Structure 1
Amino acid sequence: MTPFDAVRILLFIALGVLGAGRCEATPAEYANHNAARFDNVQACIGGMHSALPINISPQTSFSAQRSLAVLSWNVQKGENTQWLADLKRLGSDKQLVLLQEALLTSQMRSSLGQNRYWSFAPGYTTEEYRSGLMLLSVIPPVVVCAMQVFEPWLGSPKAVGAALFPISELDFGMLVINVHGVNFSIGLDDFERQMEQIAQLLGAIPGPAIVAGDFNTWREGRMRLMEAMMGKHGMHRVKFESDFRSRFIGLALDHIWIRGLTAIHSESEEVRSSDHNPMSAELMFEQGEYHVP
Structure 2
Amino acid sequence: MVVEEPTPEGAASRKLNAISEAISGCQKCPLAATRTHTVPGEGSASAEIMFVGEGPGRDEDLSGRPFVGRAGKFLDELIESLPMRREDVYIANVVKCRPPGNRDPERTEVETCSNYLTEQIETIDPLVIVPLGRHALGWFVSNPRITADHGKIMRHENRILMPLLHPSAGLRSTENARRLREGIHNVKEALLEGIRIRHDANNRQISGNEDGNVAALQAAGNTDAAKQEPATEAPDRQEPGEASASTGLFERSQTRDEVEAEIRRQRAIEEAEAAAEEAQTKIVVDDRQASFF
The answer to whether TM tops 0.5 is: no
Choose 1 or 2 for highest CA Rg. Answer: 2
Structure with the largest fraction of helix: 2
Structure with the largest fraction of strand: 1
Higher relative CO (CA 8 A, sep ≥ 6), structure 1 or 2?
A: 1
